[in-house]
């Protein structure tokens, strides 16, 4: 296994020069962005206008899974294409607002309002009781971070997970951004994570086993000395937010299920700098790495075509959101 040659800023001592080249001591410069993420104040859930179509759980707070075929009808796929494109626009709007000093709760407001402006319902809101309209996962938070009053620090990385419900279907996508000046190792983590998703998408085609997806993700991550989180996986999506179809991000040779034309699902690898095992916060949503080191994630929703797949959560301009990967876009 090839380990990254980039220095790990967590090994810097307080009085060492900061990695950013400012000439200041680490403790006076970027040390705060490496403090453990702590829960802060969560504001009340925001309301959605009555005229916006709601998913079944919006009023009940349930997390039930409705039966839904893995292979979708042409009508469902067309609705998913439109909704996925709109979700990508919402993700871009929220991502453009990221800057040191903004709180994750402020990002939630932007996502909430942009979702409604797009004529949709922010899918996370009240799904299983989740209190917000977007997941904001900062630094060592793997996924499902709840937006709160914590301000983003210069040097953080943050994942925004946006899902939009519109026309009776969900479009699910996420990306990771660097906040201000970020150390080279964290930037490499973000880049490699995006590359993992790019490589996984290239493996999707009818007749291929699902385990090719996990294999290419694990091989690429581990080639850079990173780990693949096992506990959270990709999933089927459509009229249901999360359906039974499971997409592993690590290689399991027993997973010989065959990909079929018309399937719709997400691929959303979570890649860790260190230990890929997780632990949960008391809120029963926020998952963090057991060793407290950083993770990154990228996600797209796909529809399987006759000769490959289409990414249906691309922004209309064809470019990815988040930090650059091995290519500028995926068209």
**Per-residue model confidence as pLDDT tens digits over 153-198:** 999 999 999 999 999 999 999 999 999 999 999 999 999 999 999 9
What's the confidence (pLDDT) of residue 210?
98
Examine residue 215 and state whether it is found in any structural domain, yes or no. Answer: yes
pLDDT value at residue 253: 94
Read off the pLDDT of residues 188-247 as tens digits, 9 standing for 90 and up.
Answer: 999 999 999 999 999 999 999 999 999 999 999 999 999 999 999 999 999 999 998 999
Distance of CA 60 to the CA centre of its chain: 25
Instruction: Classify residue 238: in a domain, yes or no.
Output: yes
Taking residues 44-64, report their average pLDDT.
Answer: 93
If we measure between CA atoms, which residue out of 105, 114, 96, 109 comes closest to residue 179? Answer: 96
Query: How many folded domains does the chain comprise?
Result: 1
Judged against a pLDDT cut of 80, whether residue 329 lies above it is answered with no
The strand order across the sheet containing 234-236 reads: 243-247, 234-236, 264-267, 300-304, 309-311
In a domain, 110, yes or no: yes
Virtual torsion, Cα 128, 146, 272, 218, nearest 10 deg: 30
Q: How far is CA 310 from CA 65, 263, 303, in A?
A: 25, 11, 5
Give the mean model confidence (pLDDT) for residues 103-121: 98
% of the chain surpassing 90 pLDDT: 90
Q: What is the pLDDT of residue 250?
A: 97
Residue 35 lies in a domain: no
Domain span holding position 90: 70-311
pLDDT for 67 equals 74
Question: In the prediction, which pLDDT does 3 show?
Answer: 60
- What is the token pair recorded at 143? 């996924």
Q: Identify the residue whose tokens are 């799904």.
A: 127
Q: What is the pLDDT of residue 323?
A: 75
25 within domain boundaries = no
Question: Per-residue pLDDT for 74 more than 70?
Answer: yes
331 — pLDDT class (breaks 50, 70, 90):
very low
- The tokens for 37 are 């993420």
- Cβ pair 138, 150 in contact under 8 A: yes
**Predicted confidence band of residue 117 (pLDDT cuts 50, 70, 90):** very high
pLDDT of residue 1: 46
Task: Say if 330 falls within a structural domain.
Answer: no
pLDDT of residue 63: 83
- pLDDT value for 303: 98
Task: Count CA within 13 A, CB hemisphere, residue 146.
Answer: 23
> What does pLDDT average to over the chain?
94
| pLDDT score for 10 | 86
CATH of the domain at 243: 3.90.230.10
What pLDDT shows up at residue 4? Answer: 65
Whole-angstrom distance, CA of residue 331 vs CA of residue 175: 17
Is 59 a member of any domain? no
In a domain, 194, yes or no: yes
Q: Of 10-14, 252-256, 319-323, where does mean pLDDT reach its minimum?
A: 319-323
- pTM here is 0.95
């Amino acid at each position: 296994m090839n380990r990254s040659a980039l220095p790990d800023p967590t090994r810097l001592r307080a009085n060492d020069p900061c990695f950013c080249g400012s000439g200041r001591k680490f403790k006076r410069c970027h040390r705060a962005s490496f403090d453990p993420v702590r829960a802060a104040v969560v504001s009340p859930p925001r309301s959605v206008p009555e005229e916006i179509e709601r998913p079944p759980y919006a009023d009940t707070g349930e997390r039930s899974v409705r039966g839904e075929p893995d292979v979708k009808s042409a009508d469902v796929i067309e609705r998913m294409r439109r909704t996925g494109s709109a979700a990508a626009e919402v993700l871009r709007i929220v991502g453009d607002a990221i800057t040191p000093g903004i709180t994750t709760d402020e990002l939630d407001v932007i996502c909430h309002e942009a979702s409604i402006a797009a004529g949709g319902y922010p899918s996370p809101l009240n799904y299983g009781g989740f209190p917000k309209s977007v997941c904001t996962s900062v630094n060592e938070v793997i996924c499902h971070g709840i937006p709160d009053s914590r301000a983003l620090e210069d040097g953080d990385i943050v994942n925004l997970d946006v899902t939009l419900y519109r026309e009776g279907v969900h479009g699910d996508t996420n990306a990771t951004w660097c906040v201000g000046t970020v150390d080279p190792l964290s930037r490499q983590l973000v880049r490699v994570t995006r590359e993992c998703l790019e490589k996984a998408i290239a493996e999707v085609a009818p007749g291929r086993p699902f385990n090719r997806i996990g294999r290419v993700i694990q091989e690429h991550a581990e080639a850079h000395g990173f780990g693949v989180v096992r506990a959270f996986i990709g999933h089927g999506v459509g009229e249901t937010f999360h359906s039974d179809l499971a997409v592993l991000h690590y290689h399991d040779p027993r997973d010989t299920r065959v990909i079929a034309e018309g399937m719709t699902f997400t691929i959303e690898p979570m890649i860790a700098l260190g230990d890929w095992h997780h632990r949960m916060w008391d809120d029963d949503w926020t998952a963090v790495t057991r060793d407290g080191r950083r993770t990154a994630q990228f996600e797209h929703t796909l529809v399987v075509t006759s000769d490959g797949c289409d990414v249906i959560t691309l922004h209309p301009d064809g470019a990815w959101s988040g930090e650059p990967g091995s290519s500028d876009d995926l068209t």
